[in-house]
Amino acid sequence: MRHSPQALNEAGQRALLAEIRAVIAKAPLFVPTMPRSGNPMSVRMTNAGPLGWVTDKTHGYRYQATHPVTGELWPPMPQTVLDLWEALAGHPHPPEACLINYYGGAAKMGLHQDKDEEDFDAPVLSVSLGDTGIFRVGGKTRKSPTEKYELKSGDVFLLGGEDRLAYHGIDRILAGTSDLLEEGGRFNLTLRRVTKPG
């Protein structure tokens, strides 16, 4: 578990934001729904890279190569996040999925594990842009003690090794803490290796 404050400076944040806007222009944000219940999540999301993480009532959590609404392939991953992975992940293979979550003012994410991947050897690396998110992270069970971090714009957080399957989530967004996004809110980019290296 490693928090890297301001891994991206302001210029880097603006460059990455422009890359995200370009991704969204090709793969629009959509509202995912929970398995079984079909209840909408409070975030909107899209993906970049060969694979994208999606969820819906019928088929549940999964990775697929196409956008669930447009049917198009996901756009390529932004070079900025590939560079961050190269610099900070400490893993020989590139990420295969870049999940882009947009948190509006009331959005949050309950405690969960990232466990839909085939291989847990690679870390999960997340990048924050925009308003500060209150990030909660614990251990390998939902009842493990948790810690809170303020993830500010430009911060990177990595879960790897024994912490790869730690429960984590976003309690709330602190509105108005960044002027990076004109619309306010927060983008979180999560880089994941999905398949076992062949």
> What is the average pLDDT value for the chain, to the nearest integer?
96
pLDDT tier at 198, thresholds 50, 70, 90: confident
pLDDT (mean) for 45-67: 96
197: in domain: no
Residue 163 lies in domain: 2-192
198: in domain: no
Domain count along the chain: 1
80: in domain: yes
34: in domain: yes
What pLDDT score was predicted for residue 62?
96
Report the candidate in 79, 171, 146, 94 with the shortest Cα–Cα distance to residue 125: 94
CATH at 128: 2.60.120.590
* Helical spans, DSSP H, in the chain: 10-26, 79-88
> Considering the chain, what percentage of its residues have pLDDT values greater than 90?
96
Spatial separation of the C-alpha atoms in residues 168 and 165, rounded to whole Å = 9
43: in domain: yes
> Considering the chain, what percentage of its residues have pLDDT values greater than 70?
100
pLDDT tier at 122, thresholds 50, 70, 90: very high
